[in-house]
């Protein structure tokens, strides 16, 4: 049969991840640049805190002025933080939109996409915020039910072993339920970036609708994608674990004035900071991968659930 | 598809074969499944070996004599056996199922030799023995990512590649409504079916194949849209009354098939 427009049937979990990686690989420079910008926006509020911190060192003898200064700083800073977060989310979503254009074989330029997404700045923030709140609610709900059931079971069976086993099972079930919700709300930012005239609630509902009946596949794809990024995370953890080894040599009651103690704690702090810096650095490389994989999940679900790829050729 | 590496191999009989490489996602997923099964097997083994060892030791203790070296031997044998299970699992299944382990089977990938023939005991064992090297600090991931044929160390040494198993296209096994069959006959006279291209037919076919798994609203919209476009394409003046868009698409499918059968000789 001749080339058909329906050449992309629903993809397997592994293929979604591989294709996401290939898509990222073929647009490496462009996506990395965007990820760098997104990371820059996310870091900016924290960098901004450095000058006032340095200033306060010189104001230690005038506590009144110091407090006043920090009141002003914190007030301005909260606004800055929210704005920068929105900017960072928007840039991250830019990758999804670009990737979707590639998948549909109707690519858009970066400028076009940026112009399209700029007015949605606050919508991306709202989507992010709602999902965080929703998942937080789920978490609380699940914990509440777990605790309640655990209590009832502990009351009914006074056998410790059985109660512990049931508590373990409840814990697993709760985690599964929480992950299931995470999968259902995993792609609203992609929907927001790709679909026009959607508000933040619509996008979250979209994510929910599209993933209906596919939560397990979505979760597996995300998990496999995570597995592939694991080497990078492992590398970033080396300084942290390295600096934790001397910690074990500390006695039971370390003397805080001891030089060795200070040295060990100092190296631990350096380890923590190095690991954080490394994970931020590797984050720049993993963000586009995550966005590509999420976009492929979205793309695949739209083809499967809505036949988005079934289009007659224009004549 | 352009997102997967295609390779063509020529067999010893000089036959060109096209394969799609498995891809890192499938391989990671297969390994995840295999390692879960492996974990279960090893867990069972450890429990059994511990039970056997403690039984043996208590027996020896009762019989008197110096058996202080026995525990370390038991541990060593247990460790060795556990390694044999680890390598044996992959080698056993890859030989038995011609390049597939349970994980690979579920994910639908397969190990083959570079000339396209199935792998044998030697290749399976080499791949399995070198697996720890690939696992060490995830070296295999980097090898698969940066090697043009997605080979990890085990594949390089054993001369194997991992490919996607070709899935036969699900048979067009549709149930057509009676109305669609009637309409198909009418269409051959009422409309100009010559305007339909194989591409259009493929879209209709895919729709009919996949519609049962689509979301209701999206499916209705898509069905209406396709029906409208096709009606214009085949220059049909009006769709006969009491026809749903799905019936119309079924009718187009049937009518097109009949037409093609009519043209083709034999």
Residue A22 and residue B230: Cβ atoms within 8 Å? no
Per-residue pLDDT, B167? 67
Domain count, chain A: 1
Q: Which residues, other chains included, contact A73 with Cβ-Cβ below 8 Å and sequence gap of 6+?
A: A49, A52
Query: A245: how many CB neighbours lie within 10 A of its CB?
Result: 12
Residue A222 located in a structural domain: yes
Rounded percentage of chain A residues whose pLDDT exceeds 70: 94
Q: Kindly tell me if the per-residue pLDDT of B128 is higher than 70.
A: yes
Specify the length of chain A in residues: 315
Residue A96 located in a structural domain: yes
A14 inside 8 A of chain B by CB: yes
**Looking up tokens 């599209």, which residue turns up?**
A210
What letter does residue B4 receive in the DSSP assignment? Answer: S
Residues A130-158: what's their mean pLDDT?
Answer: 90
Question: What average pLDDT does chain A have?
Answer: 90
Q: Does residue B163 contact residue B109 with C-beta atoms inside 8 Å?
A: yes
Q: Kindly tell me if the per-residue pLDDT of A4 is higher than 60.
A: no
Domain ranges (residues) in chain B: 6-164, 178-263
B230 inside 8 A of chain A by CB: yes
With contacts defined as CB-CB under 8 Å, which chain A residues touch B30?
Answer: 14
Q: Which two tokens stand for residue A223?
A: 């998990």
Residue A312 located in a structural domain: no
A143-154: pLDDT as tens digits: 999 989 888 887
Residue A14 and residue B30: Cβ atoms within 8 Å? yes
CA distance linking residue A300 with residue B223, whole number of Å: 19
Query: Which of the given ranges, A58-67, A267-276, B160-169, has the highest pLDDT on average?
Result: A267-276
B102-113: pLDDT as tens digits: 999 999 999 999
Q: Does residue A96 contact residue A291 with C-beta atoms inside 8 Å?
A: yes
Question: Does the pTM of the predicted model rise above 0.80?
Answer: yes
Q: Which of A141-145, B10-14, B220-224 has the lowest mean pLDDT?
A: B10-14
A6-21: pLDDT as tens digits: 345 558 899 999 999 9
- Which pLDDT band, with edges at 50, 70 and 90, does B266 fall under? very low
Residues A151-178: what's their mean pLDDT?
Answer: 85
B36 inside 8 A of chain A by CB: no
Residue B218 and residue A234: Cβ atoms within 8 Å? no
Please name the member of A225, A234, A311 whose beta carbon is closest to the beta carbon of B137: A234
With contacts defined as CB-CB under 8 Å, which chain A residues touch B145?
Answer: 21
Residue B32 and residue A224: Cβ atoms within 8 Å? yes
What is the separation of C-alpha A188 from the centre of its chain, rounded to a whole number of angstroms?
13
Per-residue pLDDT, B194? 83
Q: Which residues, other chains included, contact A46 with Cβ-Cβ below 8 Å and sequence gap of 6+?
A: none
With contacts defined as CB-CB under 8 Å, which chain B residues touch A205?
Answer: none
Q: Kindly tell me if the per-residue pLDDT of A124 is higher than 60.
A: yes
Q: Does residue B15 contact residue B98 with C-beta atoms inside 8 Å?
A: no
Rounded percentage of chain B residues whose pLDDT exceeds 70: 95
B136 inside 8 A of chain A by CB: no
Per-residue pLDDT, A175? 95
Per-residue pLDDT, B15? 85
Domain coverage including residue A207 = 13-306
- DSSP secondary structure letters along A261-315: HHHHHHHHHHHHHHHHHHHHHHHHHHHHHHHHHHHHHHHHHHHHHH-TT--PPP-
Residue A22 and residue B206: Cβ atoms within 8 Å? no
Residues 119-178 of A with CB under 8 A from B: none
Per-residue pLDDT, B97? 95
Alpha helices in chain B (DSSP H): 24-63, 70-96, 102-107, 121-129, 131-135, 139-146, 153-158, 178-190, 198-210, 216-233, 245-263
A285-311: pLDDT as tens digits: 999 999 999 999 999 999 999 998 888
Residue A5 and residue B137: Cβ atoms within 8 Å? no
A24 to A13, A30, A32, A75, A290: CA distances (angstroms): 17, 9, 9, 39, 9
Interface predicted TM-score of the whole assembly (ipTM), two decimals: 0.84
∠ at Cα A112 (A108, A115), nearest 5°?
150
Question: What average pLDDT does chain B have?
Answer: 88
Per-residue pLDDT, B169? 58
- Which pLDDT band, with edges at 50, 70 and 90, does B88 fall under? very high
Per-residue pLDDT, A251? 63
Residue B211 and residue A230: Cβ atoms within 8 Å? no
Residue A3 located in a structural domain: no
Query: A54: how many CB neighbours lie within 10 A of its CB?
Result: 9
Residues A24-53: what's their mean pLDDT?
Answer: 95
Q: Kindly tell me if the per-residue pLDDT of B47 is higher than 80.
A: yes
């Amino acid at each position: 049969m001749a080339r058909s427009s329906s050449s992309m049937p629903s993809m397997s979990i592994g293929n979604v991840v591989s294709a996401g990686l290939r898509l990222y690989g073929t647009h490496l420079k462009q996506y990395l640049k965007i990820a760098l910008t997104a990371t820059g926006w996310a870091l900016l509020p924290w960098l901004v805190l450095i000058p006032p911190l340095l200033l306060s060192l010189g104001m230690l003898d005038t506590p009144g002025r110091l407090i006043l200064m920090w009141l002003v700083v914190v007030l301005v800073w909260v606004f800055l933080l929210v704005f920068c977060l929105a900017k960072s989310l928007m840039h991250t979503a830019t990758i999804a939109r670009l990737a979707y254009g590639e998948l549909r074989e109707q690519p858009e330029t970066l400028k076009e996409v940026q112009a399209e997404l700029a007015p949605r700045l606050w919508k991306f923030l709202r989507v992010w915020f709602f999902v965080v709140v929703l998942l937080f609610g789920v978490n609380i709900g699940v914990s509440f039910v777990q605790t309640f059931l655990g209590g009832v079971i502990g009351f009914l069976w006074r056998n410790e072993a059985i109660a512990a086993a049931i508590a373990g099972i409840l814990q697993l079930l709760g985690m599964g339920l929480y992950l299931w919700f995470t999968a259902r709300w995993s792609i609203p930012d992609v929907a927001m970036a790709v679909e026009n005239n959607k508000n933040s609630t619509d996008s979250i509902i979209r994510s929910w609708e599209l993933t209906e009946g596919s939560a397990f596949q979505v979760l597996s794809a995300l998990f496999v994608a995570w597995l592939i990024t694991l080497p990078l995370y492992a590398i970033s953890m080396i300084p942290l674990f390295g600096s934790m080894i001397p910690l074990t040599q500390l006695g039971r009651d370390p003397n805080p004035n001891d030089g060795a103690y200070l040295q060990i704690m100092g190296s631990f702090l350096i380890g923590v900071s190095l690991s954080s810096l490394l994970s931020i650095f590797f984050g720049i490389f993993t963000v586009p991968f995550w966005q590509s994989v999420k976009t492929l999940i979205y793309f695949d679900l739209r083809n499967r659930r809505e036949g988005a790829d079934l289009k007659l050729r224009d004549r | 598809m352009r997102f997967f590496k295609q390779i063509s191999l020529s067999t010893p009989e000089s036959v060109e074969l096209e394969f799609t490489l498995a891809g890192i996602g499938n391989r990671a997923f297969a390994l995840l499944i295999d390692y879960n099964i492996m974990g279960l097997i090893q867990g069972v083994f450890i429990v059994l070996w511990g039970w056997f060892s403690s039984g043996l030791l208590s027996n020896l203790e009762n019989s008197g004599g110096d058996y202080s070296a026995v525990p370390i031997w038991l541990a060593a044998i247990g460790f060795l056996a556990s390694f044999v299970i680890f390598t044996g699992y992959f080698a056993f299944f890859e030989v038995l199922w011609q390049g597939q382990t349970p994980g690979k089977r579920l994910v639908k990938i397969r190990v083959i030799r570079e000339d396209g023939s199935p792998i044998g005991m030697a290749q399976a064992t080499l791949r399995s023995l070198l697996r720890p090297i690939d696992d060490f600090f995830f070296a295999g991931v980097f090898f698969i990512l940066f090697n043009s044929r997605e080979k990890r160390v085990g594949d390089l040494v054993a001369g194997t590649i991992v490919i996607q198993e070709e899935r036969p296209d699900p048979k067009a096994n549709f149930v057509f409504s009676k109305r669609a069959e009637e309409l198909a006959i009418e269409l051959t006279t009422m409309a100009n079916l010559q305007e339909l291209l194989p591409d259009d037919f493929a879209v209709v076919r895919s729709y009919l194949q996949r519609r049962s798994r689509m979301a209701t609203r999206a499916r209705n919209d898509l069905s209406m849209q396709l029906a409208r476009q096709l009606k214009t394409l085949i220059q049909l003046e009006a769709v006969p009354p009491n026809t749903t868009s799905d019936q119309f698409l079924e009718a187009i499918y049937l009518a097109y098939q009949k037409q093609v059968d009519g043209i083709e000789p034999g």
